[in-house]
Amino acid sequence: MSIDFEKQLNPAQWQAVRAAHGPLLVIAGAGSGKTRTIAYRLAYLVRNGVAPENILLLTFTRKAAQEMLFRASSLIGQELGGVAGGTFHSFAGSILRRYASVLGYPDRFTIMDGPDMSEILGQVRAELGVGKGDKAFPKKKTILGLISKSRNKEVDLAMLLERESPHMLHYGDDMIRIARTYAEFKLRHGLMDYDDLLFNLERLLLERDDLAEFLRMRHSHVMVDEFQDTNKVQARLVRQLAGDGRGVMAVGDDAQSIYAFRGAEVRNILAFPDTFPNTTIVRLEENYRSVQPILELTNALLRNATTKFDKNLFSRRTDGLKPQLINTVSDQTQAKVVVDKILELSRSCRLRDIAVLFRAGYQSYPVEMLLNKIGLRFRKYGGLKFTDAAHVKDVLAYLRLIVNPADLPAWQRAVSHVKGMGPKTCNTFCQALLEGEQQKIARTTKKFPDVAAAFDLINALRHEKPAPTSALQRILEFYTPLFQDRYPDDYPRRQAGLDQLLQIASGFTDLDAFLAELTLESPEESREEDCDVEDHVVLSTVHSAKGLEWSAVLVIDLVNGRFPSRHAMENSEDLEEERRLLYVACTRARDYLGLFVPSSVYNRFMGGSEPALPSLFVSELPPSCYEELRENYLGQVKPRTPLPAREPRPFCNNPDTPSHSAPLPSPGAARHRNNTFGHCRHKIFGRGKIVEFLPPNRYRINFPGFGLKIIMVDFLSMEE
């Protein structure tokens, strides 16, 4: 029995499915049934006489292509195995298999995988004699990544290094030589990597007009999924394969273009109507995921985007909670508020239906610690768990040795980086330390000055017994040059983890307690096959969360410099991508959305916290689209209520008439009034000088690095 497609689809989906022959751009908002629409379009074309072999379907994953073809086949009861395509790379490979000799390749070339590429790059480096004996020289994986990024972004490798990896610029000439020789090696030996497939297909189509025309005639319908994620060469390939555009259909969402770091160009989808004149644009705006109050916020978020296709998402789920905007005292207290919210939400939904999303992997570290502390299972996607990061383990090894000089694994980690000290020597030295063999210790420390320096530092700290923050600062002064030498490729990125470690340490006065907190492990994670049985909270970067959804989503660190990132705030295009990134984060939520804005964040240069400005994206939101809550200094989170309007002071010429607008000083304020011009301490701002008493119960205080603040007496600790 034939299925009535129109009844199975909403009006916009049906319009996209049955659109007349010609260029078609489908702007598919988040949760709007994009895959369903493509599957129905495939089925509609075949049911109306288009042969499957005349359809080219280009996607970004093989799984996506298979799902669309399976759904379409189920709709019409006919296999669609004749449809060409799959991923851009697989399609390119299938064409090049037959015609690569035109480009100077042998009739049978080899497509390399990651290990092949790494091995060949190693051979090239060895032949050139580049970086020999230099441990700081970029690793093969790093060089391959930079070569690929420069090709996908189509920018010069030297320029890419200057923009994104300036700490490696002094190796730029060597890496350019390696890249050039690597390309020559591949051609000489009949090898292609993944990027070659795309660029070589483009070359082939440009050099062989007859082949390009044949492919255009064969594939009268070209369908491209996730068009917002195409890079420059992929967009040019679509243009070549689609010809005049009469049969081309691109589906995507400019507001979900978040992969510029891989070379994706949001301009490709924005320029589609210019590339293919007379384009029909269909907007899928009905959302099947989120409640309407969440969509009100995401629509408002996009309203200030500089370049976009206008869209207004709506849902039939009109009832629902407004998103919550939760202001916390600091990024450290934010973790507790987040965990409290998870526990609250877990009373009405499973843990696996709750996700904490963040801009960068290091931002979840305080949350991870608290979840471990209370034994709440979690899984993290995008970025290592805090205590799994190698550089964090390095620093913790020094701290562990202050507490326990017999900690053999810590000694092995602390001295393993020493130049010339192999595993055998390391083990011998560590054993000598444990057994108190002073002669062996003396010989080793004399031979290896770095070991002697580490030994002296640990001994000094054991004698002094400093607080965790002081101990860490001393260790990081010693460790920083070793850190930069040990992780030359990405130490700037890793630095954030060490900054976070310092911040966490600032909340402890006892080193044993600090280490105990850090080494508390979450319960053993279940085996992969059992992961659906065990309940766990999801922690994820926003990039890793794209395409997923949860009942409740909590987005943290929404302050300028973190989300958007400090780097993005210096470039308008990057800033707009950060806006899209937040849009993706918010549209993952079905029923609850929480946005967390800490009022202060840790700054390692100041050795403490500094005030933070709410993310400019949050500042742009109209207050009507969220419920605002605020954490007070007692750790309570309550709805923010507007301050009551102050009553006007009554006009009175009689000095004997009392003024009822001036309340009496509180007992606490009276006790502290004499402290004016003394000093006090505050939980967030540290030590400050009292400048003025403000009746009935406040002080004006000058905090170094923070400036003048007006704070209530109850939140201050007065110095005698």
Binding-site members are: 28-35
Closest CA to 248 of 55, 90, 63: 55
Q: Which amino acid is at 123?
A: Q
Residues with Cβ < 8 Å from 276, sequence gap 6 or more?
23, 242, 245, 248
Nearest CA to 454 among 467, 441, 440? 441
Give residues with Cβ within 8 angstroms of 590, minimum separation 6: 289, 290, 291, 549, 550, 551, 552
The answer to whether 36 touches 286, Cβ cutoff 8 Å, is no
Round to whole Å and give the CA distance between 393 and 373: 19
Token pair for 147: 């070569």
Q: What six digits make up the tokens of 25?
A: 């751009």
Q: Quick check: 615 and 564 in contact, CB under 8 A?
A: yes
CA-CA-CA-CA dihedral for 159, 160, 161, 164, to nearest 10: 130
Distance of CA 657 to the CA centre of its chain: 63
Buried (b) or exposed (e) across 261-272, using 16+ Cβ within 10 A? eebbbbebbeeb
Sheet bearing 637-639, strands edge to edge: 378-381, 537-541, 354-358, 550-555, 589-598, 324-328, 627-631, 637-639
Residues at the binding site for ATP are 28-35
Place of tokens 């933070």: 612
Instruction: Give the sign of the dihedral formed by CA 188, CA 191, CA 193, CA 197.
Output: positive
Query: Which amino acid, 692?
Result: E
Smallest Cα–Cα separation from 507: which of 684, 718, 636, 704?
684
Please say whether the dihedral angle defined by the alpha carbons of residues 710, 714, 717 and 720, taken in this order, is positive or negative.
positive
